[in-house]
């Protein structure tokens, strides 16, 4: 598995694998028809490869150096990569970078409160559930979204890292 910082060629490659509507069902934008809008919004993004095949995208978001925090999100994978460990390994690499190389104190995650798949994945890290921000953002052409927030702090990192490593060895 590898995460590669986005380069110009990734735009077309990601677009080509993003046709399945299940990918976008609960993302901020609705469907592949708004792919360009999504792609232009990405900052600090990575092409996500698993077994040398492009399977999706993930990002660092809202990096706040003064507070030593970052958000991980804007993550999507093709359905064939769901349940393969690709997301687990990506989260391990991103958090390892945040905590061990950047010296950050907090890594945040937010997801649509209705996205049970994402919420279960965050709980399995385990990230601490911190609550729901009601009507937090407008998505998919003006629909109000409640966002569920999770976090891992530096004190939690050794246990979270060990759990992720154990999950990947199975």
Measured distance CA(43)–CA(89) in Å, rounded: 21
Q: How far is CA 1 from CA 4, 11, 83, 87, 118, in A?
A: 10, 20, 14, 10, 20
Alpha-carbon torsion angle 22, 18, 127, 165, nearest 10: 120
**The two three-digit tokens of residue 162, written as one number:** 């060990």
| N-terminal to C-terminal alpha carbon distance within the chain | 16
**The two three-digit tokens of residue 130, written as one number:** 């911190």
Which residue segment(s) compose the domain that 120 sits in? 2-169
Measured distance CA(51)–CA(160) in Å, rounded: 24
pLDDT in tens, 75-134: 899 999 998 999 999 999 999 999 999 999 999 999 999 989 889 999 999 999 999 999
Quote the Cα angle for 19-145-133, to 5°: 135
Measured distance CA(158)–CA(170) in Å, rounded: 19
Q: What is the pLDDT of residue 139?
A: 75
The residue with greater pLDDT, 87 or 30, is: 87
Enclosing H/E stretch for 110:
strand 106-112
Count other Cβ atoms within 10 Å, centred on residue 115: 17
Confidence of residue 35 (pLDDT cuts 50, 70, 90): confident
The tally of domains found in the chain comes to 1
Query: Residues 35, 41, 47, 50: is their CA dihedral positive or negative?
Result: negative
Q: What is the pLDDT of residue 50?
A: 92
The CATH code of the domain that includes 115 is 3.40.630.30
Confidence of residue 2 (pLDDT cuts 50, 70, 90): very high
In sequence order, the β-bridge partners of residue 133 are 147
> Could you identify the residue written with the tokens 């970078």?
97
Residue 169 predicted with pLDDT over 60: yes
> Mean pLDDT, the chain, as a whole number?
90
Enclosing H/E stretch for 97:
none
Q: What is the pLDDT of residue 142?
A: 78
Measured distance CA(105)–CA(107) in Å, rounded: 7
pLDDT in tens, 136-162: 887 767 778 899 999 999 999 999 999
- Whole-model pTM: value is 0.87
Residue 31 predicted with pLDDT over 60: no
């Amino acid at each position: 598995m590898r995460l590669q910082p986005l380069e110009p060629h990734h735009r077309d490659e990601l677009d080509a694998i993003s046709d399945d509507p299940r990918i976008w069902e609960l993302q901020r934008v609705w469907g592949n028809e708004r792919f360009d809008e999504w792609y232009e919004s990405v900052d600090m993004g990575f092409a996500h490869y698993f077994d040398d095949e492009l399977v999706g995208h993930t990002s660092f978001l809202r990096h706040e150096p003064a507070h030593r925090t970052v958000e991980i999100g804007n993550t999507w994978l093709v359905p064939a990569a769901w349940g393969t460990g690709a997301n687990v390994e990506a989260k391990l690499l991103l958090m390892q970078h945040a905590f061990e190389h950047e010296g950050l104190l907090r890594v945040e995650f937010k997801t649509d409160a209705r996205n049970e798949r994402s919420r279960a994945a965050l709980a399995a890290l385990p990230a601490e559930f911190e609550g729901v921000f009601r009507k937090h953002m407008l998505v998919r052409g003006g629909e109000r979204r409640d966002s569920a927030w999770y976090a891992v702090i530096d004190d939690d990192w050794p246990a979270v890292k060990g759990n992720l490593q154990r999950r990947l060895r199975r």
